[in-house]
Each structure stands twice: as structure tokens, then as C-alpha cells.
Chains A and B, each alone.
Chain A
Amino acid sequence: MSARAGLLHPRILIGGGIVATLALMAVFAPQLAPHDPNAQELMYTLLPPAWAPGGNLAHPLGTDSLGQDVLSRLIWGTRTALYVAVLAAGGAMLLGTTLALLAGYFGGWADWLVARAVDTWMSFPPVILALILLVGFGAGLNNVVFAIIIVDWTRFARVIRAEVIVVRRRDYIAAARLSGFSHMRTLVSEVLPATMPLIVTLLSLEMGIAVIVEATLSFVGLSVETDVPAWGVMIADARVYMNQSPWGVMVPTLAIFVTVLAFNLLGDGLRRALDPRLRVRGAA
């Protein structure tokens, strides 16, 4: 009951609402976008948004330097952003959390190996590492996902390992073993749920980071193929004409900002709602 009440917190409602809207935009992009995102109308380049002087209702957010409809590209760009956010953050979470659970729970050599691997990994500058990976594998959306997983699993591994070590010392873990639970079952049904609030928080932060990383790599042309709309590509294209037409930069930047903020709000809200330690006695 109290957990359900917690799920109605404004953080979750606002964050979740925005994320849900973005997800719908991504799924129904072909239906929602008023134009083909790659269709060029060279008669109408660098149009301002419809409400600004010289705007045109056919292009509500204006057009870019090639006369492509900004709103349509923005909607299609949501697809790219969320694809990377979900797959990259999910992959980093799976890899990092699995290693962290094994290292923190079993300790000993497993822990020593994972801890040193994380130390070594985190000493590489992440941007350089990602660039090296992308140059090696070649540009492309799936390679961006792969690069983010390879670079960012350490965030999950380090933070969750520390939490697992704390949880593992609680007597209820020993009690589960004494009840007859196998190591695997203890890990999955006792240790993992205790780290869930942290995992959810990290996952949402990581989704936000993935959106930014993808946009950054798109900006330098290492991410998507040229015919795929992405927010980073939009910023890169509009950057040259920023003085004549600031909207071209502002619109995709605002989209990135809102997306990252929504992920953070949702993650923080879920962490509070899921943590039974924050559930007060008698509140049920």
C-alpha cells in the first residue's frame, strides 16, 4: 500500500510521463512525423519555427540548412536516442551487475580480480577508449551501444560491488544459507533485491549518460549512418548556421536536456519508492 502510494510521487509521475511520451514518439515516429525526415525542400531552408516571424505552419519547428523538417527529424531522433539509451545502459548494467554480484558475494580471488580490473579500466580516459573502439569497429549505431557497454560497465561494477559487500555481511544472508538456499538462489532472491534501488538509480543515470554520449559521437560523425536522424547530427548540422538560425541548435539540445532530466527524475523517484528502509513503521 505504502509502496503504491510512493509510486505516485511527482518525481515518478513527471519523469515517467516524459519517458513514456518519448517512448511513444520513438515507436510511432512514422505516424507522428509530418514529413519524411530526410526529404529536402531547398526552397525552404533555415525556416524559423511557426510562431516566429517568417515561420511556416507546414514546418512547426522550422527547417534546417537542407530544408529538412526539424520536428520530423526530432521525432525520428528520439528513436536513435532511446535505442542507444536502453540497449547501452541495459548492457552495461547486466555486465557490471553480474560481475559485481559475483565479486562482492564470493570475495577472495574473484573479488580481487574484478576490483583490479575495474581500477585498471577506469584509469583509461573514457572518451579516448570509446573513440578507439569506434575507429576499430567502424562507425554505426550498434557499435556505439557496444562501446558504451565496454566503457561504462565499471560504473555499475564498482558501486554495486560496494553495496553487495555491505549487504552480504547482514545476518539475513547467512540466515538464507542456513535455511538451505544455494549460493545462486541467495544471490538472486536475497542479495539482488537489496541492491535493486541502487541498480535502478544507476540505470536511469546511465541512460541519461548514454543519450549524451550518443549525441556527442553523432556530433563528431562517429555514430549513425548519414540517413539516420539523430539529435547529435542535428546539432552538428545546425552549428554552422547558429548565428542566422539559433533554433536549429536549441531544439535538439532542449530534447537532450529534457530526456536526461526525465531519466534522472524517474530513477531517483523509483529508488525512493522501492527502498523498504524508507518505508516507515505503521505506514502500511
Chain B
Amino acid sequence: MSDTLYIEDLTVALRGAEVLRNLTFDVAPGRVVGLVGESGAGKSMIGRVLAGTLPEGFGVTGGSARFGTADLVTMAPAARRAMLGGRITFIPQEPLTALNPLLTIGAQFIEHLARLGVPRRARRGRVLDALAQVELPDPAQIVARYPFQLSGGQNQRVLIAMAFASNPALIIADEPTTALDVSTQMSVVSLIRRMGRDHGTGLVFITHDLRLAAHVCDAIVVLYAGEVVERGPAATVMLSPRHPYTHSLKASIPQLSGPLHRLVPLPDTMPGIGSFAAMPGCRFAGRCPVSDPACAAAPPANVDLGGGHVVRCAPGCLSGAWDGTTPELLLPPPDPTGEPILTVAGLSKRFPPPRDLFGRRRGDGTLAVDGADLTVHAGEFIGVVGESGSGKSTLARLIMGLEHPTSGTIRLDDRDITAASRAARDLRIEALQMVFQDPQSALNPRRTVQRLVTQGMEARGQRDRPTRAADLLRETGLAADLTHRYPSELSGGQKQRVNIARALCVAPRLLVADEIVSGLDVSVQAQILNLLMALRDEHGIGLILISHDLGVVRYLCSRVCVMLQGRIVEQGTVARVFSDPQHAYTKALLASIPPDDPTVPWPPEKESTQ
């Protein structure tokens, strides 16, 4: 079982454009290698090369992927099929879509074992053993369940058990925890690590999260636009990155401890496949803070820094003269003074059960928000954190009047705006605006950027919209030539800026932002976070930031509310809650994020079985 995967000079091309260029790394048995990069970097493409499932038009044009005695690139399809699912297995990103919804867990697992040639009578016992190994409580119960009856974390554990069932030499895990909540992520990650070590399996861990990779992996391979820009031992890459891109990536992640520094995001976005053909040199050169004209002309060579640390960059950058710009220290915003803008008291929302055929409702429904109290002052940034289903988004929709509360009051300045009246609505939309989570759904595809951002003026019949649109675009850092584009022609980061610009149109005093950076890559996320900070400094705008990312909340907010099952279980200043959490749930939440320092052991080795 001790086979090493050697990938050497692997190149994949689409119509002459090299989508992956000269990839080299190896995965030894029992080792975890992290492939880190932003979306479009080519992370998942590597898994598809190994699986032989490259999309139409893509082809391997050079290099090899040796595994044992075989080369996975030139291997016959039949031999590859025999190897996949057996000696090489996969852990997918979306556990629910990877399992067949119509079969029980037991039936799917037994089918898998049958394919592996396990004798009929031994199969059920093997399933129960495997499920017990991944710490699923009561395996005998689990085998009779359907995937939809299990949580995301439980489904992922089932898939991990299946991936290890054949005692594979290599597992490719593609963003295995991205769809899970942070606390579930921690237990799943530690499970994958422990299983890998016990079975002596080599693991390719694909992720966009550099900090997570630094803790989970032994070695890290940083990908940018289809190229390995830096690889080496995990702690070395995280603590002393040498490639400017790795530097920037690290500088874009909001820190969880220590003094707050301003994030230094990269300008623009990663080039797409379409522009690769016109980039003979370093693909990062266009965004690199220290590039020179030679960089764009020819691809840089790999520089071996010893100890397996290899960087693909011009030697000048590696001399140590450049260690990244020292980011500016952020001062905490002044304490808010005066009366609060928004006061929420005892706010509750119960969703009624759906109507039956005869229009009646049965049962109690769901209590999504339970007695929430919250005040926001002018210019104050407040974070609301919690897991999915904790009622964060419902709280935002209640504040915005998109849902109406079952009980409790919402006051704007000293006026009650709880009622679903026209007067309350008019008051509300002058002062409060919302930035939605998913820009795809929040922007009407039939409106141009200009018509989107000036929607508030359109509603009021105001003229002079092109002028205001130009102001809003400038303020949110959008190029003026986007004015007449449609959303389908914008990148994710641009869409989110349009989304913010629209909310700013009527000059509100308070923004409610629901997970507005969760779908973005870290470098784009950092751009948006800095934009919000600039809006506070210039306009004294307040913000309720709903997020599951504690780093983002710590970076932006002065106060934080922790929500659990519809209730605010802890509320306080960010400094206090992060350093001295009181509620058990807050403590668990903080412990479940990988710390900034890769040398701090995480996940905790001694972990309770849940």
C-alpha cells in the first residue's frame, strides 16, 4: 500500500492555452498535501486529470502522474477504472449530492463493498466497522437511514468511511469541509487526518483556505492561474512565504489574534483561461507588487530554497529584500456616542406551518428568532455570528421589514417601525438598506449597472440618475465603463460592489449585510471589507454584518452578537468576546477556527467524540 504519487511537469491545455502549466509535486503515503488557491486556479482540474474525467476539449499535453508502477496520464481506461474507487478514492465537496438520495446509507455502502469484491456475508459487518471508525454514533441505526435524514457532517463522515473502505493508497479530497459549518469542519478535518495516518494513506487536500491547509497538511502547494507558484512544508509556507502571491494571500486573510492590521488585497482578479494564451511569462506579473517587465516575457524558473521549499519566481524577489509591505495598524473606531439609530427589543419570529389542501395550518411552525435585543449607533459596526439555521438571516429580514415579527419592537431613532404600515416602511427605507448575500440572485439580470444602482432614485422619481450612478460607481471602486453592462457580464466581486452601491444610493445611515463576502475569494473579500471600512470613515455609516466567519467580524466590527437556535446567547465588544468568551457555544465556536499560527496544534488532538 505504500505508493507515492509523483506529478511531474504536468501540463493540461485547452485549444493551445495551457490551463495547468508544468505542475510538479508528490504525495507520499501517510502524508497530507494541500492544494491551495482561489477559484479558477486549477485546483480541481488536478483531481480530474487523475480521475481521467477532464472536460471536453481539455487534454494532457505534457508531463506525467506516476503512481506505483503506472502513469495515470497514459493509463488505459479499463485499468484506470479498476484503480479508481479502490487504490485511489475521492471525498467530494457536497456530501448530499454525492450520495444517492433514493438508497439507504447501508445499501450504497454495501454496493461499494460488492464492487471491491468483499464476500457477501462479510459486507454488513464491514459497513458497521467502517461507520464506527468514522465516529458515527450507532452505526446500526445509520445504515437504515437515507442521506436526507442525516446532517451534512454525518453524510460527509459516511463518504469518508467509504473512501477509506478499500484501504486506498491515495485519497483526493476536494474542498471536503467547505459546505459544512465551522464546528463540523473541525471534527471532519481531524477525522480525515487521523484516518489518513492510521491507514498510511496519502491525501491530496484541495482547499481555498490557506490557514486551514496550514494546520491540516504536511505540505502546501499554492496554485495561481494553473501554475504552482510555491510549494513546501506547511509551516514554512505559512510563516515565511516567499512568493509575492502567497504573501498577498496571507495578507488578505483577516487575523484572529494579535493587533489588527489593515488587509492588503491584490488589485483586480485572477486572469481567466481565455487570457492564458497571451501570457507567456509569469501569470501573476499583472497583479504583482514587485514585478518587472522581464517577468511577463518568459516564465520564471523554479528556485529551490532547500527543505523541499520551491518557489517559482524571479530570483530578485527571493533575495529577501522584499518581505511584503508592512501593513498599517488599525486603530479601533471611537466609541459610539448619542442615542442609538436602531433599537431592537424582544424581537421574535415564528414561521407558521404551510397550509394544507383545505387552507388550514397544523402544528406550531418554527421559532426562527427568539427574543432578540440589539442596539446600533451611528457609525457602529456590529457582527452577528452563528451557524446556518441559527436565525441570523431572519433577524436581518425582520429588521429590514421583509418579514414581520411575531412579537417585540423595532425602533428607528425614537419612532416605532415594527408595524407593517406604509409610514413605517417609508421611514425604514430612507434610513436602512440591505446588501444581499448572493449577488447572482440580488441583481435583476435585465437591468444595467446604472439602472441597478439608481433603483432607489427611480422609485422616488428623481432625475439626474447618470450623475449619481457615476458617483456610486466611483465610491464603490467600479470602473466607469461598467455603467451599461448587465450583471451576467460582471465578475463576482464586481457584482457584490454593485450590490453595495445600490444600497448606498439613498444615502442610508445603516446597512444590513447578510454574508456578503462568503462566496468570494479571499483577495476579493479583502477588497470588499476595506470598502466597507472606507464607507464608515467617510459617511459615518453603520453596519450590521451577518457572517459565519469570525475573522471577518473581528476585522470590521466593534461589537458582536452570537446567535444559537434563534437566540442571542452572547453579546459584547469584539475584544472582550474574542479574548474572554462566556457562553459555552461561543467558546466552542472560537475553538473551531484554525488559529493564525500554524505551529499551534489544531484541531486539538484530544477531541471528544462528537
Contact = CB atoms under 8 A, between A and B. Distances in A.
Contact of A180 (B429, B438, B486): B429
Interface string B411-435: 0000000000000001001000110
A172 B402 contact: no
B321 interface: no
A70 to B, nearest CB: 47
B359 interface: yes
A9 interface: no
Contacts of A284: 485-486, 489
Contact of A179 (B456, B485, B486): B456
Q: Interface centre among B359, B433, B455, by most A CB within 10 Å?
A: B455
Interface in B160-187: none
A177 to B, nearest CB: 7
Contact of A276 (B460, B486, B490, B505): B486
Interface in B541-566: none
Contacts of A185: 459
Given A181-B459, A185-B459, A175 B486 contact: no
Interface string A95-121: 000000000000001001000000000
A171 B429 contact: no
Contacts of B402: 174, 177-178
A194 B487 CA distance: 14
Interface string B483-515: 001101110000000000010011000000000
Contacts of B437: 171
Nearest to A193: B446
Interface string B438-477: 1001111110000000011011100000000000000000
Given A109-B359, A178-B433, A281-B489, A172 B442 contact: yes
**Interface on chain A toward B: helix, strand, loop, or mixed SS?**
helix
A189 to B, nearest CB: 9
Interface size class of A (residues with CB under 8 A): 20 to 34
A112 to B, nearest CB: 5
A190 B429 contact: no
Nearest to B486: A276
Interface string B117-159: 0000000000000000000000000000000000000000000
Given A194-B446, A284-B485, A178 B441 contact: no
B434 A175 contact: yes
Contacts of A190: 444
A175 B436 contact: yes
A282 interface: yes
A179 B443 CA distance: 13
B192 interface: no
B505 A277 contact: no
Contacts of A176: 444, 455, 459
Interface in A163-202: 170-172, 174-181, 185, 190, 193-194
B436 A171 contact: yes
Interface of A: 109, 112, 170-172, 174-181, 185, 190, 193-194, 276-277, 279-284
Given A174-B400, A284-B489, 17 more contacts: A112-B355, A170-B442, A171-B436, A171-B437, A171-B441, A174-B402, A175-B436, A176-B444, A177-B402, A178-B400, A178-B434, A179-B429, A179-B455, A179-B506, A180-B460, A276-B486, A281-B489
17 contacts: A171-B442, A174-B402, A175-B436, A175-B442, A176-B455, A178-B402, A178-B434, A179-B456, A179-B505, A180-B459, A181-B459, A276-B486, A279-B486, A279-B488, A281-B489, A282-B489, A284-B486
- What are the 3 A-B residue pairs with the smallest beta carbon separation, nearest first? A180-B459, A171-B442, A171-B436
